[in-house]
C-alpha cells in the first residue's frame, strides 16, 4: 500500500485521569491534499493515522479497489487462481492422516475445527470417560467392590499411611550377589560397531 502521509512528529498529552496511561498527539501531512493534521492516540505504532478529510478517504478506497482489480486481471491473464491454504504439504499430510484414521479405525467423530493446542482425539465412551475422570478418586474406585472388601481396603490404606508396613521393605543391595563396596552396575562385555 502506498504512503499516504508524512510523519511530522509527536508530543505527549497529559492523561485525563490520575495514573492513566499517557497519550500521544501525532502530527502528519497528507501527501494527497497537503493538509497538516494531528490525531491523539494511546498506543504508538509504525502506521501513520490516515487523513481525516472525506475526499482523501474516498481516494484511498478507490486506489485500493484499483489495486485489487489489477491483481485480479493479472491472475486471470496468468490463468492461476489465488493461493489457498490447502495446497501446502503440511496441510495435505494432516488431511491424509485424518482420512486414514477415519477409514482404518472407524473414528468419524474427530474434531476438525481445531485451534492451536487442541487435540483431535475423539471423546471417550461415557463409561471410559467416567473411569478416567475418577481414576484418582478412591470412593469412585471402590464403587464395584462389595462392602466387606471395601472395608478391608480402607483398613489396609489406613495401616499403610500409619507406617505399619515400613519394616517390610527389602534393601536391593541384600538381594544382589555382590561384595560390599562393589558397584551395582558392572560391565558385561564391549562391542565395537563398524
Q: Give me the average pLDDT of each 10-residue run along the chain (194 residues).
A: 78 83 89 88 84 89 92 86 72 83 81 72 82 72 70 84 82 68 73 75
Pairing mode, strands 23-30 and 36-41:
antiparallel
pLDDT at 136: 67
pLDDT at 141: 60
Domain spans of the chain? Answer: 5-78, 125-163
What letters, b where the CB count within 10 A reaches 16 and e where it falls short, cover 23-62? eeebbbebeeeeeebeeeeeeeeeebbebeeeebeeebee
Helix then strand then coil, % of the chain, to nearest 5: 45, 10, 45
pLDDT at 184: 67
Whole-structure pTM value: 0.38
From CA 119, how far away is CA 76, in angstroms rounded?
Answer: 40
Amino acid at each position: 500500500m502506498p504512503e499516504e502521509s508524512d510523519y511530522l512528529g509527536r508530543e505527549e498529552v497529559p492523561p485525563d485521569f490520575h495514573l492513566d496511561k499517557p497519550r500521544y498527539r501525532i502530527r502528519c501531512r497528507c501527501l494527497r491534499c497537503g493538509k497538516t493534521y494531528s490525531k491523539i492516540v494511546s498506543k504508538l505504532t509504525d502506521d501513520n493515522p490516515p487523513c481525516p478529510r472525506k475526499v482523501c478517504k474516498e481516494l484511498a478506497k478507490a486506489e485500493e479497489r484499483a489495486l485489487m482489480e489489477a491483481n485480479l486481471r493479472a491472475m486471470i491473464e496468468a490463468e492461476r487462481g489465488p493461493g489457498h491454504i490447502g495446497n501446502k504439504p503440511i496441510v495435505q499430510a494432516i488431511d491424509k492422516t485424518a482420512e486414514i484414521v477415519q477409514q482404518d479405525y472407524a473414528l468419524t467423530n474427530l474434531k476438525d475445527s481445531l485451534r492451536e493446542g487442541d487435540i483431535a482425539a475423539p471423546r471417550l465412551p461415557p463409561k471410559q470417560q467416567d473411569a478416567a475422570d475418577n481414576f484418582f478418586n478412591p470412593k469412585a474406585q471402590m464403587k464395584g467392590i462389595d462392602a466387606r472388601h471395601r472395608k478391608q481396603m480402607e483398613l489396609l490404606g489406613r495401616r499403610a499411611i500409619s507406617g505399619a508396613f515400613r519394616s517390610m521393605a527389602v534393601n536391593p543391595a541384600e538381594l544382589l550377589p555382590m561384595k560390599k563396596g562393589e558397584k551395582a552396575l558392572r560391565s558385561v562385555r564391549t562391542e565395537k560397531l563398524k
